[in-house]
Amino acid sequence: MMKDRVAILVPGYINPRVIARLSDSFDIVAVPHGATLDISDEEAALVRGIAVSGALPASWIARLPNLEIISNFGVGYDGVDVGAAVARGIMVTNSPDVLNDEVADTTVALLINTVRQLPQAEAWLRQGRWTSEGHFPLTPLSLKGRHVGLQGLGRIGIEIARRLEPFKVKISYHTRRPRADVSYGYHASLLSLAEEVDTLISIVPKTPETTGSINAEVLKALGPRGVLINVGRGTTVDEAALVSALKDGTIAAAGLDVFANEPQVPQELLGLPNVSLLPHVASASIPTRDAMADLVVDNLISWFSTGKVLTPVSEMLQESA
């Protein structure tokens, strides 16, 4: 317990473990998410930290004159206006690494579900169709002999690649710069990667460069045996182009855990037989989410105890370089 309890703003919903642990050391100012931060100037002046899951616009940051740190729940932090924080000298942290294994495991499972149609096969059994209609139809696709391309080979991407190696698939990747520590084939552009592979896994954050990057041209390059798996950000994929590609056979199938306008999923995707859809659950196990929650709180405790954090976002490292 620190000598003086610091006020931490918590906008909207966050994992309950964050609240439980924050309560031990901090005063919590809980507010609803919204366009504006609805607290008094007196309350705003007391806030020195934020624990957030989701959006945190510049207008909110501007309302808090004594804000020192924003601790983000999740490895992705595109909802936080980091530029506004940097301009004020405010520390921003996220919760990487503790979810790498869970997301990588889910990605491989989603890929297998997509090519082998295992959810559809289970539904066939549960609906009694095995008894009434016979065996589930042979799946047109298999993981065997595939060439997998990764859009993104960061912390999670490398864990996905390592899990895929025992499946005896060929692996290539596209990032802004090649990695010296891997032997996978490198492609300087996403289009070049799509032309070379028949399976594309996207695990990139939301940036101006990645938004809409998996478009009609990339899907066409992936080809009629092509499979798209997206566990990064829904905004990476042009969803209208994807629906068209799945309908007309431009690609064979897709597995998606993320969508552009969550929790809204395009109705056209829901009606397609060649997609496997998950409600953004790649890291959604209790052990993994507990670890993420602990990192959110531990960053705040460390900052107000020592002036240092455990996991600053990359922009913070650039500022101190």
Q: Three-class SS of residue 255? A: strand
Active site residue 280: yes
Strand partners of residue 256: 230, 277
What proportion of the chain, given as a percentage, has pLDDT over 90?
A: 96
Select from 211, 164, 168 the least CA-distant residue to 190: 211
Which of 116, 163, 225, 280 is catalytic? The answer is: 280
The residues of the chain that CATH labels 3.40.50.720 are 6-97+286-320, 100-277
The pLDDT confidence band at residue 321, using thresholds 50, 70 and 90, is very low
Rounded mean pLDDT, 11-40: 95
Which pLDDT score is estimated for 3?
Answer: 47
Is residue 306 packed enough to be buried (19+ CB in 10 Å), middle (13-18) or exposed (0-12)?
Answer: exposed
* Block residue for tokens 């002999």: 145
Residue 4: pLDDT over 80: no
pLDDT, the chain, mean: 96
pLDDT of residue 319 exceeding 70, the answer is no
Q: Which residues contact 298 (CB under 8 A, 6 or more apart)?
A: 310
For 54-109, how does the pLDDT look when each residue is reduced to its tens digit (9 = 90+)? 999 999 999 999 999 999 999 999 999 999 999 999 999 999 999 999 999 999 99
**In the predicted structure, residue 207 carries a pLDDT above the cut 90:** yes
- Strands 47-52 and 6-11, by their bridges, are parallel
pLDDT in tens, 134-192: 999 999 999 999 999 999 999 999 999 999 999 999 999 999 999 999 999 999 999 99
pLDDT at res. 35: 87
The one catalytic residue in 233, 268, 289, 315 is 233
CATH no. for 6-97+286-320: 3.40.50.720
Catalytic pick among 122, 165, 262, 319:
262
Mean pLDDT of 11-17: 97
Confidence of residue 2 (pLDDT cuts 50, 70, 90): very low
**pLDDT (tens digit, 9 = 90+) per residue, 208-229?**
999 999 999 999 999 999 999 9
Provide CATH code, domain 100-277.
3.40.50.720
SS (H, E, C) 57-112: CHHHHHCCCCCCEEEECCCCCCCECHHHHHHHCCEEECCCCCCHHHHHHHHHHHHH
Q: What percentage of the chain exceeds 70 in pLDDT? A: 98
| Structure confidence at residue 320 (pLDDT) | 56
What per-residue confidence (pLDDT) applies to 34? 86
Residue 318: per-residue pLDDT: 75
Confidence of residue 317 (pLDDT cuts 50, 70, 90): confident
pLDDT tens digits along 56-70: 999 999 999 999 999
Q: Is 162 a catalytic residue?
A: no
Closest CA to 32 of 12, 50, 18: 12
